[in-house]
């Protein structure tokens, strides 16, 4: 708009001066347009944001430029799905916390490069509410936490009153083509327990709406209309997308899946030539969709072609490769999906005794065929990450890494597990009487050093998240300096594994 105004102004000046417009060198307008565009987006390596000349991004500093206030103001106006970005080199986000940007819309072409995720960055972008395309890059996870592309799709409405916003189309289109996720180690990365999916995490459309430069949470999007006056929905296309690594999650009732979280609300979903290589475990897990809630998804066209994944392991004995819970399709399956789905309902469960009076977990003597190792997995209270080690400010993001796993070759080696209140090492340092030698401390399967410590007849599980470069606090309410607010894990699992590290038996109980 600005460059058009400049061009019009120059033409008016030419007319006032009595110039013949045919004699005016119009190339000056092109130069001004290019210069003005470069002035606004000067933080990129090149380009002007068009399909022919995308904004070029060669390092993390330029990638973070998308989150700058001026650029976000342009994106928040909407109707910007014609913006184009391309990576000209690998992007290293390790050590960064929070989001790259609140809003992204347009096309991001990775040109085969890698984006290195950060333990403190659960998502690269927060929302988009226009047609969006991601293609041709790999996201390599940091040492302990996953980093996903975005929190969820969103939609725009005009007023805080919730008046309908009418798009000029009936569907918003999300295309993710040849975008891979890879773990950087063999450790089990913990993912969220409900409506989790690597490519669409949460529900589509989102329950977050955009109002006049603000985001209002927990509002359904039924009043957002398409061009024909019908309710707007999404068209989600996943093509040539591969996930590699070991992951656990899906303990909640809405489950976790490799590809899509669920509750599609009439959105069209197409998957083609997508694979999972590794292990994906939890109580309610699947390959394609976590939560296929029948009421919300039965009007959603779902098509899959050559979608393959092995070692999807359900601790509950429920679900399938297609859906973790609430399958809306007959038989609970989607055609075109292949792989290995293992349920542990018919295998004798690992047993452990009641927790003793001093909070110690006493395991029964058991014999599981093919078992060569055992995990004890604790489901921790909700965690919030903080922007600095003083906890003066904190993000609203609840982290996805909410499990803690101790491994041993023999069940008898798991003799020092306690049902303990959970805290970080920074919090432990504020409590008199707690002293830990981290140099010799054990390390959990998720990659964190830990210690069980007793203080004043109370056991604590202290986890050294600070070693990974970020800071956590285990409360839903925010910063608490008193140990009275610390919480216990909600569940304890015992998992027997074979030589291939696959689960062959599991037992679990709630922690009261």
Domain final residue, candidates 293, 311, 346: 346
86 found inside a domain: yes
Identify whether residues 311 and 401 lie together within a single domain.
no
Distance CA 88, CA 502 (A): 39
- pLDDT, one tens digit per residue, over 114-137 is 999 998 788 899 888 789 999 999
Burial (CB count within 10 angstroms: exposed 0-12, middle 13-18, buried 19+), residue 33? middle
Average the pLDDT over each of 54-68, 156-170, 237-251, 310-324 and give the range with the smallest value.
156-170
Instruction: Quote the tokens at residue 399.
Output: 């982290």
Identify whether residues 171 and 319 lie together within a single domain.
yes
Identify whether residues 471 and 401 lie together within a single domain.
yes
Q: How confident is the model at residue 375 (pLDDT cuts 50, 70, 90)?
A: confident
When pLDDT is averaged across residues 370-397 and rounded to a whole number, the result is 65
Identify whether residues 428 and 501 lie together within a single domain.
yes
Nearest alpha-carbon partner for 454 in 481, 433, 474: 433
3 found inside a domain: yes
Choose between 354 and 257: higher pLDDT: 257
Identify whether residues 291 and 176 lie together within a single domain.
yes
357 found inside a domain: no
8 Å CB contact between 384 and 394:
yes
When pLDDT is averaged across residues 254-283 and rounded to a whole number, the result is 91
Query: Is the confidence at residue 259, as pLDDT, over 90?
Result: yes
Identify whether residues 135 and 257 lie together within a single domain.
no
pLDDT score recorded for residue 168 = 80
pLDDT score recorded for residue 44 = 93
Identify whether residues 108 and 145 lie together within a single domain.
yes
Q: How confident is the model at residue 253 (pLDDT cuts 50, 70, 90)?
A: confident
Identify whether residues 264 and 170 lie together within a single domain.
yes
Domain count, the chain: 4
pLDDT score recorded for residue 99 = 85
- pLDDT, one tens digit per residue, over 455-507 is 988 899 998 877 766 555 544 444 455 667 788 888 888 888 888 888 888 88
Domain final residue, candidates 85, 117, 151: 151
423 found inside a domain: yes
Nearest alpha-carbon partner for 312 in 349, 339, 345, 337: 339
Domain final residue, candidates 86, 117, 151: 151
Query: Is the confidence at residue 66, as pLDDT, over 80?
Result: yes
Residue 346: how many CB atoms within 10 A of its CB? 6
Q: What domain range includes position 254?
A: 161-346
Identify whether residues 384 and 483 lie together within a single domain.
yes
Question: Reduced to 3 DSSP states, what percent helix, strand and coil does the chain have, rounded to the nearest 5?
Answer: 15, 40, 45
432 found inside a domain: yes
Identify whether residues 414 and 325 lie together within a single domain.
no
Q: How confident is the model at residue 164 (pLDDT cuts 50, 70, 90)?
A: low
Query: Is the confidence at residue 284, as pLDDT, over 70?
Result: yes
Identify whether residues 314 and 461 lie together within a single domain.
no
84 found inside a domain: yes
6 found inside a domain: yes
142 found inside a domain: yes
pLDDT score recorded for residue 471 = 56
Average the pLDDT over each of 141-150, 223-232, 320-329, 395-404 and give the range with the smallest value.
395-404
Q: What is the pTM of this model?
A: 0.82
Choose between 77 and 234: higher pLDDT: 234
8 Å CB contact between 11 and 17:
no
Identify whether residues 16 and 80 lie together within a single domain.
no
Distance CA 226, CA 166 (A): 6
Backbone angles phi and psi of 378, in degrees to 5: -105, 130
């Amino acid at each position: 708009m600005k460059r058009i105004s400049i061009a019009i102004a120059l033409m008016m000046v030419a007319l006032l001066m009595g110039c013949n417009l045919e004699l005016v060198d119009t190339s000056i307008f092109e130069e001004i347009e290019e210069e003005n565009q470069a002035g606004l987006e000067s933080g990129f390596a090149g380009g002007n944001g068009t399909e022919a000349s995308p904004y070029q991004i060669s390092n993390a500093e330029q990638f973070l430029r998308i989150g700058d206030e001026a650029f976000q103001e342009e994106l928040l106006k909407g109707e910007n799905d014609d913006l184009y970005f391309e990576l000209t080199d690998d992007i290293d986000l390790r050590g960064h916390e929070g989001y790259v940007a609140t809003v992204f819309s347009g096309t991001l072409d990775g040109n085969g490069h890698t984006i290195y995720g950060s333990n403190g960055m659960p998502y690269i972008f927060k929302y988009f509410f226009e047609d969006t395309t991601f293609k041709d890059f790999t996201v390599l996870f940091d040492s302990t936490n996953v980093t996903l592309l975005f929190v969820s799709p969103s939609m725009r409405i005009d007023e805080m009153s919730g008046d309908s916003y009418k798009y000029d189309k009936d569907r918003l289109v999300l295309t993710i083509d040849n975008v891979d996720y890879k773990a950087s180690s063999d450790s089990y990365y913990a993912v969220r327990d409900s409506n989790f999916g690597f490519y669409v995490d949460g529900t589509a459309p989102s329950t977050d709406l955009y109002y006049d430069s603000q985001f209002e949470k927990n509002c359904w999007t039924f009043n957002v209309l398409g061009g024909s006056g019908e309710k707007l929905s999404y068209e989600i296309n996943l093509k040539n997308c591969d996930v590699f690594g070991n992951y656990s999650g899906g303990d909640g009732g809405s489950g976790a899946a490799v590809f899509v979280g669920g509750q599609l609300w009439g959105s069209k979903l197409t998957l083609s030539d997508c694979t999972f290589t590794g292990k994906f475990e939890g109580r309610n897990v699947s390959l394609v969709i976590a939560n296929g809630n029948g009421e919300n998804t039965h009007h959603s066209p779902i098509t899959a072609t050559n979608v393959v994944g092995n070692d999807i392991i359900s601790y509950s004995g429920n679900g399938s490769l297609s859906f973790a819970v609430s399958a809306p399709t007959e038989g609970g399956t989607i055609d075109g999906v292949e792989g290995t789905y293992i349920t542990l309902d018919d295998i004798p469960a690992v047993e452990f005794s009641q927790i003793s009076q001093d909070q110690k977990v006493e395991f029964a003597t058991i014999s599981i065929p093919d078992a060569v190792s055992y995990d004890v997995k604790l489901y921790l209270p909700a965690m919030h990450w903080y922007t600095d080690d003083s906890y003066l400010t904190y993000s609203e993001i609840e982290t996805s890494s909410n499990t803690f796993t101790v491994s041993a070759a023999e069940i008898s080696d798991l003799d020092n597990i306690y049902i303990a209140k959970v805290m970080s090492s920074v919090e432990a340092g504020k409590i008199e009487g707690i002293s830990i030698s981290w140099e010799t401390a054990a390390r959990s399967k998720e990659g964190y050093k830990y210690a069980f410590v007793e203080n004043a007849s109370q056991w604590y599980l202290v986890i050294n998240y600070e070693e990974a470069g970020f800071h956590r606090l285990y409360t839903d309410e925010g910063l608490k300096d008193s140990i009275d607010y610390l919480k216990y894990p909600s569940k304890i699992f015992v998992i027997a594994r074979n030589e291939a590290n696959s689960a062959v038996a599991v037992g679990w109980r709630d922690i009261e």
